[in-house]
Chain A
Amino acid sequence: MEIQVTEDRAGEVLVLSPVGRLDSANATAFEAVVMNHVRGGERRLVIDFGSLDFISSSGMRVLLIAAKTLRTNKGTLVLCSMKDHIAEVFQISGFSQIIPIKDSRAEALAASA
């Protein structure tokens, strides 16, 4: 199953915004989008959660893979604009300690510079 991902560029930073639901049905499609950019040489990645309503562990797994690879490549991954339920799940999962999460896209871009 596909996932709609909006892409924006701000200088060296690529901003990806997945839309709707990110679960086991479309995590593979999302992984392909993200990792194609990472393998293509993108090193400053922001994933904007503003249009995301739901994420399961299948989607979070993709973020962890991307964060690990970007770290190896001396790049950064910053997340932003999470809805409350999603932010709560990132807390419970201990992801908030290993992947930076900002309230707004502007803050995420500032943190990526």
Chain B
Amino acid sequence: MSGEFHVSLPAKLSAVRGLAEMVEEFGDANRLSPSKVYMINLALEELITNTVSYGLEGVIDPQIGIGMHVRDGVLAVTVVDNGHPFDATQDTNPDLSSPIDERPIGGLGLHLVKVFADRIAYEYAEGRNCLTLEHDLASGDA
């Protein structure tokens, strides 16, 4: 697998399983560290889960496309879907410090995506959500 990668996924939660293997191959081909590959898989799992569970609900002919490339030391991951408009870049303000009794259940997924992404951009155009994450690869890791 080369420095570029595109795949369409079925709109179901189990779709991330096959994707995870492809991400690992992509990581090997681009010499990404296991830690980076893990965080990419985690970010994709969180985004695809949101899209499948909420974004594509009731959508006829649901579609999800994933793109990845490494260019000039930057890893870019793009998720495109034809679901309801949803801007994942909006502030989610997850509660990461309350004691256990007050800790809310949920709200963590998008936070994990944002921890990984050095830059995140969202656009809704022609009936499609397009979310792009960029992650700066440290020297020696690209």
Contacts and interface: CB of A to CB of B under 8 A. Distances in A.
B101 A71 contact: yes
B45 A23 contact: yes
B109 A56 contact: yes
A22 to B, nearest CB: 10
B-side binding surface: helix, strand, loop or mixed? helix
B46 A57 contact: yes
Contacts of A54: 20, 38, 41-42, 45
B42 A56 contact: yes
A88 interface: yes
Interface string A8-29: 0000000000000101110000
A3 B45 CA distance: 17
A88 B112 CA distance: 11
A24 B47 CA distance: 11
Interface of B: 13-14, 16-17, 20, 34-35, 38-39, 41-42, 45-46, 49, 52-53, 95-97, 99-101, 103, 105-106, 108-109, 111-112, 115
